[in-house]
Amino acid sequence: MRQKHWWQEVVVYQIYPRSFKDSNGDGIGDLPGIIEKLDYLEKLGIGAIWLSPVYQSPNDDNGYDISDYEAIMTEFGTMEDMDRLIQEADKRQIKIVMDLVVNHTSDEHAWFVEAKKSKDNPYRDYYVWANPSADGGVPNGLRSAFSGSAWQLDETTGQYYLHLFSKKQPDLNWQNEKVRQAVYQMMNFWIDKGIGGFRMDVIDLIGKVPEQEITGNGPRLHEFLQEMNQATFGKHDLLTVGETWGATPEIAKLYSNPDRHELSMVFQFEHIGLDQQAGGEKWDLAPVDLGQLKQIFAKWQTELDNQGWNSLFWNNHDLPRMISRWGNDTNYRVESAKMLAILLHMQKGTPYIYQGEEIGMTNTAITDITQAKDIETINMYQERLANGFTKEAIIQSINVKGRDNARRPVQWSNQAYAGFSTVEPWIAVNENYSSINVEQALADPDSIFYTYQKLIALRKANPIMIWGDFELLDTKEAVFAYLRKYQGETWLVVTNFSDDCHEFHYSNPQAKATELVIANMPIELSESLDLQLKPWQAFVVKLE
């Protein structure tokens, strides 16, 4: 039996501070705003907050471009506010997981300001530099995730620097021992403040070998993580979760097998690409294949086995809202939101909720690119326009996949600006706030909020939800059903992932449902477990 950890038992809630709650009427969410809402989060029942970056930043990529890792972004508050947030959260048994963005810094970070001064500057090697290619152009074909080449010419020294994201996010050179030690020192600064862990931004890129055009899963990646573990969080029981777009279950075990002393778990994104055209980018839309979705989930549930740990999520600040994406945010908004919650939280792993998910916030369409705020979206728009795509087609992709969808202000009430702020927010609110908001959700005992609250409470009371084995059932494509088994107990989870009615028959005719655990609509328990599922129906029963 493996040692058990607190981070396997809790549910984590992600906060994107800019859009969570504005406390001082400047239209931008901030740390005191988060502190104001801790009672709400305690009521939901979460055990940790993953806080998207709150460090000093010029905000080219909303804080994912950090100019000082040991200072708080002026707009968000002060270091005193941060210390208070950690303490106030702690009083409510909530740990604060910081976002660790160390694949790159801002170009305004003191290290980069020094590095670009001259080729022999002591900080030069903190970053990745290369000479122009033989024909005088970019060193090689590496591309930025935010469109265009990943190389930017520095006029002063005539060399290019690498930026796998924006030009204002130069990549750190992890091959340089000094960089690694500086990062570990900074991590210890935060650990000493009593934080609960780190979410590690694009951590699979730190082993890059740019001259060979290797970015993800480079040869020294796991060596660096083992070194980091030893130098920082290894002595404490912290939650560490790596953002790893390229992970397979085999790779995830390298990160999260406890014997290897690397991370607690990773975010895997295999299912996230299911609604894009093969060989295309995320903007090249395709319908999701539910059969594949089930197979991918089942694979991750069974293959990590005892040699790793899963994270479970539908949403984050980079993804469109799942309720609008694969759920139904019009006719079945409440039903499909609850179904998605039940389907996810009943799986094995640590569940993550993204702000607003617990009240069923939806995507927000734009009609013109001037309404977009996200650098990824804006750069892609320019690139595709230049490549001959129509404006309408690009806007359509943005509305389905763009990151701004997740970044609209949290809808707290039906007051002006959704109760997020007293002035016009930095990004427009979704107009549906008058009916979809926290105040409404708390007042309605049948709201999506209370399904999440119940799932979290069930998790605390039932070890089977945390530790039970997973077994996928063979059902019709739109029906996603599985068993969890633990110490002689069996739970059956049945969900209908569609707008249509579907039959469900449990294969073992002897089995009886003895108790309803949770459901998203009223249900008569038929002893034979033969039923006609309504659109988006979901329920969990104990079996005997």
Which positions lie near ligand TEU, rule CB under 6 A?
61, 64, 101, 145, 165, 201-202, 243, 245, 282, 317-318, 376, 403
Q: How far is the CB of 149 from ligand TEU (least distance, A)?
A: 16
Please spell the DSSP secondary structure of 276-293, one letter per residue: B-TTS-TTSB----HHHH
Q: What is the C-alpha separation between 288 and 308, in angstroms, rounded?
A: 27
Q: Is 414 in the site for Ca ion (CB under 5 A)?
A: no
Q: Is 22 in the site for Ca ion (CB under 5 A)?
A: yes
Compare residues 14 and 23 and give the one whose CB is closer to ligand TEU.
14
Q: How far is the CB of 442 from ligand TEU (least distance, A)?
A: 30
Q: Which residue is nearest to Ca ion (CB)?
A: 30
Q: How many CB atoms lie within 10 A of CB 264?
A: 23
| Interface residue with Ca ion, options 12, 15, 28, 479 (CB under 5 A) | 28
> What's the Rg (C-alpha) of the chain?
23
Q: What is the C-alpha separation between 86 and 95, in angstroms, rounded?
A: 7
Q: How far is the CB of 99 from ligand TEU (least distance, A)?
A: 8
Q: How far is the CB of 135 from ligand TEU (least distance, A)?
A: 30
Q: Is 115 in the site for Ca ion (CB under 5 A)?
A: no
Please spell the DSSP secondary structure of 37-50, one letter per residue: THHHHHHHT-SEEE
Which residues does 247 contact at the CB level (< 8 Å), separation at least 6? Answer: 204, 255, 266, 268, 269, 270
Q: Angle between the 448-461 and 333-345 helix axes, to the nearest 10 degrees?
A: 20
Question: Residues 30, 201, 318, 374: which is the catalytic one?
Answer: 201
User: Which residue stretch of 20-28, 145-153, 184-192, 483-491 sits at the interface with Ca ion (rule: CB under 5 A)?
Assistant: 20-28
Compare residues 169 and 496 and give the one whose CB is closer to ligand TEU.
169
Compare residues 34 and 296 and give the one whose CB is closer to Ca ion.
34
Residue 282 binds which entry of Ca ion, ligand TEU, none, with Cβ cut-offs from 5 to 8 Å by kind? ligand TEU
Compare residues 244 and 301 and give the one whose CB is closer to ligand TEU.
244
Residue 452 binds which entry of ligand TEU, Ca ion, none, with Cβ cut-offs from 5 to 8 Å by kind? none
225-240 core/surface letters (b: 16 or more CB in 10 A; e: else): bebbbebbbeeeebbb
Asked whether the beta carbons of 12 and 239 are under 8 A apart, the reply is yes
Q: Is 357 in the site for Ca ion (CB under 5 A)?
A: no
Q: Is 81 in the site for Ca ion (CB under 5 A)?
A: no
Q: How many CB atoms lie within 10 A of CB 487?
A: 8
Residue 357 binds which entry of ligand TEU, Ca ion, none, with Cβ cut-offs from 5 to 8 Å by kind? none
The pair of three-digit structure tokens given for residue 56, joined into one six-digit string: 């000093």
Positions in 189-208 near Ca ion (CB under 5 A): none
Q: What is the C-alpha separation between 198 and 200, in angstroms, rounded?
A: 6
Asked whether the beta carbons of 147 and 379 are under 8 A apart, the reply is yes
The pair of three-digit structure tokens given for residue 215, joined into one six-digit string: 């970015």
Whole-Å CA distances, 304 to 257, 450, 538: 9, 31, 26
Q: Any catalytic annotation for residue 250?
A: no
Q: How many CB atoms lie within 10 A of CB 64?
A: 24
Q: Any catalytic annotation for residue 477?
A: no
Compare residues 358 and 376 and give the one whose CB is closer to ligand TEU.
376
Compare residues 35 and 272 and give the one whose CB is closer to ligand TEU.
272
Q: What is the C-alpha separation between 346 and 252, in angstroms, rounded?
A: 21
Q: What is the C-alpha separation between 131 and 139, in angstroms, rounded?
A: 6
Q: What is the C-alpha separation between 495 and 96, in angstroms, rounded?
A: 33
Residue 24 binds which entry of ligand TEU, Ca ion, none, with Cβ cut-offs from 5 to 8 Å by kind? Ca ion
Question: Residues 243, 270, 275, 376: which is the catalytic one?
Answer: 243
Residue 376 binds which entry of Ca ion, ligand TEU, none, with Cβ cut-offs from 5 to 8 Å by kind? ligand TEU
| Interface residue with Ca ion, options 16, 30, 228, 240 (CB under 5 A) | 30
Q: How far is the CB of 101 from ligand TEU (least distance, A)?
A: 5
**Which residues of the shown chain bind Ca ion in the complex (CB under 5 A)?**
22, 24, 26, 28, 30
List active site positions.
201, 243
